Structure 1
Amino acid sequence: MSGLFLSKGLFPQEFFRPTVEFLLKSQLPDGSIPWFEGSYADPWDHVEAAMGLTIGGEYDAAERAYFWLRDMQLDDGSWWAAYKDGEIDNKERRETNFIAYIATGVWHHYLISENYEFIEAMWPCVEKAISFVLSLQTEHGEIHWAVDTHGKPKEDALVTGCSSVFKSLECAYNLSVVLGTERKDWLDARERLGKAIRFREKERFDRTWESKARYSMDWFYPVLTGALPAHEGKKRLEARWDEFVEDNMGCRCVSDEPWVTIAESCELTMALLAAGDHARAVTLYSWLHQWRVEDGSYWTGYQFVEDLLWPDEKPTWTAGAILLAADALTDHTAAAYLFKEVRLLDTAQNTQRINHF
């Protein structure tokens, strides 16, 4: 199916119910959500799928997903790169943006469910995760992308990864305010990180490997996560639009490969909303449902030169991204704003304020 045009207040629950059911069926008894049947789960994509469950009203399943992460957390607050069947599947590294993303998921779930007991139960997990991540922030503001098997920092930074951490710090701070344990030091760290992304992108990122600028996520993630204000974000998206976007298909994963990917297209949809480009967001999202399967899942992507759905996978995190973008377009839940605006809780007034740093 294609041509699904969404607008505020018109979330097609019947249409997306199979996608939610797909996520429910993919979740294992221990609460983990692998990429697909027989595959592994990683902390970032597991959370993306869990957010889809929350949007679908499956609060218990989503909370089991977060409690699985809590129970698998290492003593220092981190997680390994991947887990499979209750065991570590990748012990080569622990990635900071993966680790920080728990805060985004927990805050997202609280905004929708309003379950205070849930965030109380998850707070020690979130606090340890953020502390681990910030222990890897440099004096210049950026955050090392990972540590190796032995805990040694991999001393370089990723624009996409640090942008994701930037959003997670917003969510972590808001959790601290709601729980009455405000972490202003996290705001300070977030401000330093934001400045590194905005002003030191060429200086502090991709220092030890080839630039990742060919990846679309490096292009739009600073906009998606609020590291750039809307007016700067709109200019950034406009500057490389023709490099990454294929009409009537979606967003390329990398600029030099004829391959559009559905999850990146969903995230770009939300980045467009953050930049105030609602018309393009609606249009881009309308193209994506031609890649939908009858069970509500979505293919990873489409190689349009070879006319090939590739790889032969329908990931749970793609389904999660589909639901997040639909929510953002329709304002269906109380968390619909999360990737469209920066909202930091104001402790003095007990209200939310919009603040890019």
Structure 2
Amino acid sequence: MSDLALPALSGNALFPSGFLRASAGYILSRQQADGAIPWFDGGYADPWDHVEAAMGLSIAGEYAAAEKAYGWLADIQLADGSWWAAYKDGEVHNRERRESNFVAYIATGIWHHYLIEEDKNFLRRYWPMVERAVEFVLALQTGHGEIHWAVDGDGRPKEDALITGCSSIYKSLECAINIAHSLGQSRPRWIEGRAQLGRALREKPERFDRTWESKARFSMDWFYPVLTGVFSGSAARARLQKKWDEFVVAGLGCRCVSDEPWVTVAESCELTMALVAAGERSRAAKLYRALHRWQDGDGGYWTGYVYRDKAIWPEEKTTWTVGAMLLAADALAGLTPASGLFTSVRLLSDPAQNTEGVDCLHQLELSGSQG
């Protein structure tokens, strides 16, 4: 497929007219009767990307469809709180592993939906699912603070850790703690687990990629610690600037990996939100506006573009890419009460402590991330 023309956006518009409805419509058209949201028609669903698409539905006001998506995960959650890596047509598609960041992400989705709809009964209904998921994930945390990336088919930990995966878990633990505190539940172990994970991500790089080649060529390892609040302020800005020229192609977007001429829409959206989190809103808006060239007539967005060949690749319009477009739009335009979820860190006070004590803990974490 040849290069695409950038649609004209009037003035400082962040997205074209009808963007919300068209994007939500695309996700809705791929959602299955049981609530699952596969990558595309005929594809599989994985727990992380399923939640990403569900969050897009919440932003667009499709609350019933989003809740159906979360209901699907509740229905298929395993007894130990986890999910398999992938599902297809009502069956398990991948029994080789269960990934910790996939499991943790349910807390992010549930908290995101609650921030928008503000239905405490929704939180109560899915609290047991979130609690089981978080306990599964924290059982994989080592004494150094990092969290093993997966367990195998027999439940044995795959003993290594990913910067991107652990960064995602760091945000999910923030959301899980807020869910617990909103429901009057004190979870000091979760608070400590999150603090230990943050210290590992900031101070112990040797605990990641120990048994395989470094993942530093992946852009997500670069910006995810900013997107999820591990680094903030000047430390976040310095981190993004350090590899900007390595990963960002002007006018096109963010590369998936530094050594391939391939920009991807979802990574570009997540980088957009990381920029907002770091206080680089103008740069974020410029990056985001250029992404609408990748929207197709059915509302979907192509996954990526090989600029060397001037070709869309792969020729797939993934639901999670559309979800990422909606999340970035919300972060920039403040469309919903959840717009700040990925651009700020907020820990609600522990019901077993006074607010001042929790605020002190939060400030210590933030000062550590800027040191």
TM over 0.5: yes
Are 1:323 and 2:326 counterparts? yes
Closer, same or farther in 2 for the Cα pair 1:280/1:5, shift >3 Å?
farther
Equivalent residue runs for 1:1-357 within 5 Å: 1-2=6-7, 4=9, 14-201=18-205, 203-347=206-350, 348-349=354-355, 355=363, 356=365
Task: Give the superposition deviation at 1:4.
Answer: 4.5
Closer, same or farther in 2 for the Cα pair 1:195/1:349, shift >3 Å?
closer
Greater than 3 Å deviation, 4+ residue runs: 1-8, 10-13, 347-350, 352-357
Q: Which amino acid aligns with 1:310?
A: W
Task: Give the superposition deviation at 1:306.
Answer: 1.0
Question: Could you tell me whether the CA contact under 8 Å between 2:9 and 2:15 is conserved in 1?
Answer: no
Question: Could you tell me whether the CA contact under 8 Å between 1:6 and 1:282 is conserved in 2?
Answer: no
Structure 2 SS opposite 1:345: coil
Q: Distance in 2 between matches of 1:5 and 1:231?
A: 33
Q: Distance in 1 between matches of 2:134 and 2:11?
A: 35
Task: Give the superposition deviation at 1:185.
Answer: 1.3
Structure 2 SS opposite 1:346: coil
Deviations 1:255-291 (A, max 9, x none): 0000000000000000001111111100000110111
Question: Could you tell me whether the CA contact under 8 Å between 1:41 and 1:82 is conserved in 2?
Answer: yes
What is the number of residues matched between the two proteins? Answer: 354
Task: Give the superposition deviation at 1:14.
Answer: 2.5
Question: Could you tell me whether the CA contact under 8 Å between 1:30 and 1:68 is conserved in 2?
Answer: yes
Structure 2 SS opposite 1:213: coil
Q: Distance in 1 between matches of 2:176 and 2:20?
A: 29
Structure 1 SS opposite 2:202: helix
Q: Distance in 2 between matches of 1:134 and 1:102?
A: 14
**Structure 2 gap segments, 5+ residues each:** 1-5, 367-371
Question: Could you tell me whether the CA contact under 8 Å between 1:224 and 1:270 is conserved in 2?
Answer: yes
Moved more, 222-231 or 95-104: 222-231
Cα RMSD after superposing both structures: 1.7
Q: Which amino acid aligns with 1:222?
A: P
Structure 2 SS opposite 1:150: coil
Closer, same or farther in 2 for the Cα pair 1:97/1:219, shift >3 Å?
same
Q: Which amino acid aligns with 1:186?
A: W
Closer, same or farther in 2 for the Cα pair 1:99/1:6, shift >3 Å?
farther
Q: Distance in 2 between matches of 1:323 and 1:149?
A: 34
Q: Distance in 2 between matches of 1:5 and 1:258?
A: 30
Task: Give the superposition deviation at 1:56.
Answer: 0.4
Task: Give the superposition deviation at 1:15.
Answer: 2.5
Task: Give the superposition deviation at 1:3.
Answer: 5.6
Task: Give the superposition deviation at 1:121.
Answer: 0.7
Question: Could you tell me whether the CA contact under 8 Å between 1:5 and 1:282 is conserved in 2?
Answer: no
Moved more, 31-40 or 13-22: 13-22
Q: Distance in 2 between matches of 1:147 and 1:6?
A: 50
**Among the aligned pairs, what percent are the same residue?**
61
Moved more, 228-237 or 34-43: 228-237
Structure 1 SS opposite 2:41: coil
Q: Distance in 2 between matches of 1:187 and 1:7?
A: 41
Determine the structure 1 residue equivalent to 2:369.
none
TM-score, scaled to structure 1:
0.96
Question: Could you tell me whether the CA contact under 8 Å between 2:15 and 2:289 is conserved in 1?
Answer: no
Question: Could you tell me whether the CA contact under 8 Å between 1:11 and 1:327 is conserved in 2?
Answer: no
Task: Give the superposition deviation at 1:16.
Answer: 2.2
Q: Distance in 2 between matches of 1:336 and 1:178?
A: 19
